[in-house]
Structure 1
Amino acid sequence: MASRSLTTTLALAFAGTTIAVFALAGSVLYFALERQVTLQDDSEIVLAARHTRRLANELQSFADVRAHADRLTSQVLGNATLSMDVRDANGNPLFSHNTADDTTSLVEPLVATQRVAPSARITGRAIVEAQRGSGMPVRGLAADASLADGSAVTIVIARDMTDRWLLLDHYRDRLYGAGFGGMLLAFLMSWMLVHESLRPLRQLAAHAAGVTVDRLHARMEIDNAPRELASVIASLNAMLERLAGGFQRMSQYTADLAHDMRTPLANLRGSTEVALARPRSADEYRAVLESNLEECERISRMIESVLFLARAEHPQFVTRMKALDVHEELARVADYFEGIADDAGVQVRVTGGGEIRADAELFRRAVSNLLANAIRHTPRGREIELRAEESADSLRVTVANQGSHIDPTRLERVFDRFYRADPARHHAPAGPASTGLGLAIVRTIMELHGGHAYAESDDASTRFILRFPRKSAPRDPIRLPVI
C-alpha cells in the first residue's frame, strides 16, 4: 500500500475546509438575497392591491370600472413585470393589463384559493406562487373589493418573477465559481505553506539518514526549528547520546571479555604445550590437569555470569519474591564462605537483621559476590562485617572490609562489567579469582528488586551497600548491550 503524502493530505484538508466554508457562507448569502428580493416584490404586490381596491371602492358600477380602467392600471404602470386583472363576482373579466396568454391561466386558481375578503386587510400572507406555462415563476394575490352600488369585483395582482429567477441563478453560478476557485487557491496555497512548514522535518530526516554506527556522535541541529519540533530534536539527540554510550560500553565490554577470556585460554594452551614438550611423570601430568581444570572452572564461571546478565536483562526474567529473614540469610552465606575465609586468614562477622521481600537465590548471590570480593581484598588477620540495618523506607545490607582504600573517582565504576580498580588487572592473592562480572551481577540483581547498589571507601574501611526499598518499585532495568 502506497504511503500518503502528509503535505497533500493537509492541503486537501484545507481545501475541503475552504469549500465547506464557502458553501455555508454562499448558502446563507443566497437565501438571504432570495428572501430580501421576495419581500421587496411582495411589498410591491401588496401596495398595488391596496391602492387598486381603495380606488375601486370609490367607483359606482361595473361600467365605471371599465371607464376608469386607466386609473386602476396606473397602480402597476412603470413596472413591466406587474400585471392586473379585474373580474366581476361571476368571474367575467372587466379588463386586464399586461397579461399574457400563459399568465391569465393563473387568475382562476388565485381567485379560487387566495381571495382576500373586502373587509380584510391585504398582507403578504395572501401572496401565492405558481408557474407560468413556460415554467417561469409568478407570484400574486386575489382580493375582493366592493363598489359603491354594492357590487363586488375581484382584483388580481401578479408579478412575473423571471427576472428575479435569472438574477438568483446568475448569483448562484457566481457563488459556485467563487467556491471552486477558492478551493483551488486554498489547495495550492496550503500545499506550498505545508511543504515549506515541513522543511525542518525533511532536514531532520536527512540528518538522521547520515547517522551511522561510525557517526553516533552526530547530533540533530536544525536552524530556526519550530517550537513543536524542539522536543523531538531534543529527544532524538538524547537517544543518540544513549546509543553512543551503549555502543561505547559494548565495545569496551567486548574488549574486556576478549582480554579476560584470552588469559585462561593462554594458560590452558601454555601449560598443555609445556606438558607435551617432553615425556613427564604421572604426577606432573596430574598437576597440569589440575591447573587446566582451574582455568576451565574460571571460564565456566565467566560464561555463567555472562549468561545470567543476558537473561536478567530480558523483560520476561522471572523472580520469585518472598519474605526473607536477612540475618538468617547473611549467616548462611557466611557459613558457606567459612572455609575460604579461613584460608585467606580473615574473619566474617554478621550483625543486625530485619525482613525484606526478595528472591532468596538472587539475594544470596548478590551478597556472595560482595563477600567473595571482600575476601580477595582484605589483608590477613582483618575482619569482614555483614551488617543489616533497617529504616522507615528501606533496609540496607552492608559488606564492609578493612582492605585498601578505593579512589573516589573509581567508586562509580566498580559495578561496571570487567572493571577493576587495579589498572594492572592483577588478582588479589587471597580468595578465588575474579571474572570481573561479580559486581555487575550485584547491580543487576538490585535493579531487579527495585533497589540500588553503591560503594563507599575511606581510610577505615571499604563498604559495599545494597539498599532494598520497603515497597519494591516495578522493574525497569537499564538495557545494556550484551554479547
Structure 2
Amino acid sequence: MAGRSLTTTLALAFAGTTIAVFALVGSVLYFALEKQVTQQDDDEIVLAARHTRRLTNELRSADDVRTHADRLTSQVLGNAALSMAVRDANGTMLLSHNAEGGTTSMIEPLVATQRVAPSARITHTAIVEAQRDARLPVRGLAAEASLADGSAVTIVIARDMTDRWILLDHYRDRLYGAGFGGMLLAFLMSWMLVHESLRPLRQLAAHAAQVTVDRLHARMNIDNAPRELAVVIASLNAMLDRLAGGFQRMSQYTADLAHDMRTPLANLRGSNEVALARPRSAEEYQAVLESNLEECERLSRMIESVLFLARAEHPQFVTHMKTLDAREELQRVADYFEGIADDAGVQVRVTGSGAVRADPELFRRAVSNLLANAIRHTPREREIELSAAAAATALRITVANQGSHIDPSALERVFDRFYRADPARHNAPAGPASTGLGLAIVRTIMELHGGNAYAESDAASTRFILNFPKT
C-alpha cells in the first residue's frame, strides 16, 4: 500500500499553518476593531449624558424641560443611532428624541438598570448593554439630574448598535474570505515549491535505482545537491563503497575457498585413481588411506575455520570474558605444541607476565594459530618466543620466530583470508598443513576482544603481536 505523498502532506501542513495564522491575526483585528468601535460609541454616550445633565440642572421645573426640549436634544443630533429620553420621578415622558422605530423599546431596558446618582460623575462604567425588539443590541446609560425646584428627572441616552453589528459582520465575512483564499493560495504555492524542492530527492532515487550488483561502482553526484541532502548522499556513497568492498571480498573469498578446497579434493581423487590403476599390496593401500586421511583432516580444519569466521561475524556471537594469567596461558599453549615443536626441531620459550581479560578458548586459539604458523616457518635448531608485556593501554602478546624475512608489502595482507606470503611453503612438513585461514581467525578474535593484531618482520625475526585492551 502506497504511503501518503510527502509533497501533499507538506502542502497541507503549510496551508493549515496559513489558515491558523490568518485566524489568529483576523481574530486579533476583529476584536480590536470591535473594542475601538465600542469605545468610540461609549465616548459619545458619556459625553451626551454629561452635557444633557448639566443643561438639565440649569432648568427650574419639568415644564422648562419641555420648553427647552430642542436645546437638550441637540446633544444627540447628528447621529441617527443615538436616542434620548427624559422622565420625571413618576415616569412621565418629558421629552424624547429619535422616537421613531421603537425608541421607547430602546429606552425601557436602560431605565430598569442602575442609575447614576445626581451627584456622581458619569463614566464609562455606567454604560450597560441591553436588547430591544427582535433582540437587537442597545448600549446606553441612565443618569438622574436635579431641577432648580428640587424635583428629580431621569436622563436616558441610548445607542442602537445594529449598524455596528452589520459593520462587524461584514468585516468578519471579509476575514473569512481572505483566510480561505489565503489558504488555497498557500496550498497551491506550497505544493509547487515543495514539489520543486524535492526534485533532488527524485533524482537521488533515480540514481539509486541504477545501482545493481553489476554496477556497484556507480555513485551519486553531490555537486549540485542541497546541503541537507549532501550528508545523506555522502552516507549512501560510503555505504555503496562498503557494499562494493564486501561483495569484492566475498567474491575473492569464495574463489579462494574453492581454489583451496580443490587442491585436497584433487589429491584425494588422484591418489585413489593411482591406487585403483592396478592391484596393490596392503601396505600400499594403507599408505593411500593415510594420505587420504590427511587430506580429509585438512578439509575438516578448513570447514571448521570457515564456520568459525561465519559465526564470529554474527552480531550475537557470545564471548565469555575472564581475567587470565597471560604467562600461564602461554605456557599451556607451549606445552600443547611441545611434541610438534620437537618434530620440527625448534624450541618454544615463554617469557614475561601480566593479566589479560579475554575469552580463554579464543585466547588459546589465537595464540595457537600464531604458534603453529611460526613452527611451520622456523628453521630447525631455532627458537620461538612467546612473551607477554604490559603497554600503556594494552597487554601485548608477542609470538616471535627466527624465520625468513617477510616483505613489508605482504605484512599488511598476512591476516587476509587464504593469503600466504610464501605459497611454495604452505605444505611444509613441519606441523599440520596450512588452510590459509589461521591468521584471519586471529584477527577476528582480536576484533571480538576490542584489540588488534599486526605483524613486524626484519632480518633478525618475524613478530606477530596481539594487543588486548587493559582490564
Give the letter aligned to residue 289 of structure 2.
Answer: L
Residue matched to 1:368: 368
Residue matched to 1:202: 202
Q: Does the CA contact (< 8 Å) of 2:264 and 2:299 recur in 1?
A: yes
Residue matched to 1:9: 9
The structural deviation recorded for 1:434 is 0.3
Give the letter aligned to residue 253 of structure 2.
Answer: Y
Name stretches of at least 5 consecutive residues in structure 2 with no aligned partner. Answer: none
Q: Does the CA contact (< 8 Å) of 2:109 and 2:131 recur in 1?
A: no
In the TM superposition, what whole-angstrom CA distance separates every residue of 1:11-36 from its partner, at most 9, and x where no partner exists? 22211111111111111111111111
The structural deviation recorded for 1:324 is 2.1
**1:423-434 correspondence to structure 2 within 5 Å:** 426-434=426-434
Separation in structure 2 between the aligned mates of residue 131 and residue 111 of structure 1, nearest angstrom = 12
Residue matched to 2:283: 283
User: Are 1:30 and 2:30 matched, yes or no?
Assistant: yes
Q: Does the CA contact (< 8 Å) of 1:103 and 1:132 recur in 2?
A: no
Residue matched to 2:391: 391
Residue matched to 2:96: 96
In the TM superposition, what whole-angstrom CA distance separates every residue of 1:342-371 from its partner, at most 9, and x where no partner exists? 222222222222221222221111111111
Residue matched to 1:480: none
**1:134-213 correspondence to structure 2 within 5 Å:** 134-213=134-213
Give the letter aligned to residue 123 of structure 1.
Answer: T
The structural deviation recorded for 1:261 is 0.3
User: Are 1:75 and 2:75 matched, yes or no?
Assistant: yes
**1:445-460 correspondence to structure 2 within 5 Å:** 445-460=445-460
The structural deviation recorded for 1:424 is 5.3
User: Are 1:61 and 2:61 matched, yes or no?
Assistant: yes
Give the letter aligned to residue 148 of structure 1.
Answer: A
Residue matched to 2:467: 467
Give the letter aligned to residue 124 of structure 2.
Answer: G
The structural deviation recorded for 1:132 is 2.1
How many residues are matched?
A: 471
Give the letter aligned to residue 167 of structure 2.
Answer: L
User: Are 1:85 and 2:85 matched, yes or no?
Assistant: yes
Residue matched to 1:440: 440
The structural deviation recorded for 1:223 is 4.2
The structural deviation recorded for 1:108 is 3.0
The structural deviation recorded for 1:101 is 5.3
**1:270-349 correspondence to structure 2 within 5 Å:** 270-349=270-349
Separation in structure 1 between the aligned mates of residue 440 and residue 329 of structure 2, nearest angstrom = 21
* TM-score calculated relative to the size of structure 2: 0.96
Give the letter aligned to residue 309 of structure 2.
Answer: L
Separation in structure 1 between the aligned mates of residue 97 and residue 393 of structure 2, nearest angstrom = 106
Separation in structure 1 between the aligned mates of residue 201 and residue 2 of structure 2, nearest angstrom = 20
Separation in structure 2 between the aligned mates of residue 120 and residue 326 of structure 1, nearest angstrom = 104
Separation in structure 2 between the aligned mates of residue 316 and residue 136 of structure 1, nearest angstrom = 80
Q: Does the CA contact (< 8 Å) of 1:204 and 1:222 recur in 2?
A: no
Bigger mean CA offset, 364-373 vs 92-101: 92-101
Separation in structure 2 between the aligned mates of residue 396 and residue 249 of structure 1, nearest angstrom = 29
In the TM superposition, what whole-angstrom CA distance separates every residue of 1:58-111 from its partner, at most 9, and x where no partner exists? 222222211221121111112111111121110011121112353302333322
* TM-score calculated relative to the size of structure 1: 0.94
Residue matched to 2:380: 380
Bigger mean CA offset, 112-121 vs 172-181: 112-121
Separation in structure 1 between the aligned mates of residue 223 and residue 449 of structure 2, nearest angstrom = 45
Give the secondary structure class of the aligned counterpart of 1:396: strand
Bigger mean CA offset, 376-385 vs 28-37: 376-385
Taking a change above 3 Å as real, the CA distance of residues 61 and 328 of structure 1, as seen in their structure-2 partners, is closer
Give the secondary structure class of the aligned counterpart of 2:133: coil
User: Are 1:236 and 2:247 matched, yes or no?
Assistant: no
Give the letter aligned to residue 325 of structure 2.
Answer: D
Separation in structure 1 between the aligned mates of residue 260 and residue 2 of structure 2, nearest angstrom = 52
Give the secondary structure class of the aligned counterpart of 2:76: coil
Separation in structure 1 between the aligned mates of residue 243 and residue 392 of structure 2, nearest angstrom = 38
Give the letter aligned to residue 373 of structure 2.
Answer: N
Taking a change above 3 Å as real, the CA distance of residues 227 and 346 of structure 1, as seen in their structure-2 partners, is same
Name stretches of at least 5 consecutive residues in structure 1 with no aligned partner. Answer: 472-483
User: Are 1:133 and 2:133 matched, yes or no?
Assistant: yes
Give the letter aligned to residue 380 of structure 1.
Answer: R
Q: Does the CA contact (< 8 Å) of 1:346 and 1:384 recur in 2?
A: yes
Give the secondary structure class of the aligned counterpart of 1:74: helix
Residue matched to 2:220: 220
Give the secondary structure class of the aligned counterpart of 1:113: coil
Give the secondary structure class of the aligned counterpart of 2:84: strand
Separation in structure 2 between the aligned mates of residue 320 and residue 119 of structure 1, nearest angstrom = 99
Give the secondary structure class of the aligned counterpart of 2:63: helix
Q: Does the CA contact (< 8 Å) of 1:82 and 1:158 recur in 2?
A: yes
Taking a change above 3 Å as real, the CA distance of residues 109 and 461 of structure 1, as seen in their structure-2 partners, is same
Residue matched to 1:418: 418
Between the aligned residues of both structures, percent identity stands at: 87
Separation in structure 1 between the aligned mates of residue 50 and residue 78 of structure 2, nearest angstrom = 17
Separation in structure 2 between the aligned mates of residue 300 and residue 120 of structure 1, nearest angstrom = 114
Separation in structure 1 between the aligned mates of residue 188 and residue 274 of structure 2, nearest angstrom = 84
Give the letter aligned to residue 379 of structure 1.
Answer: P
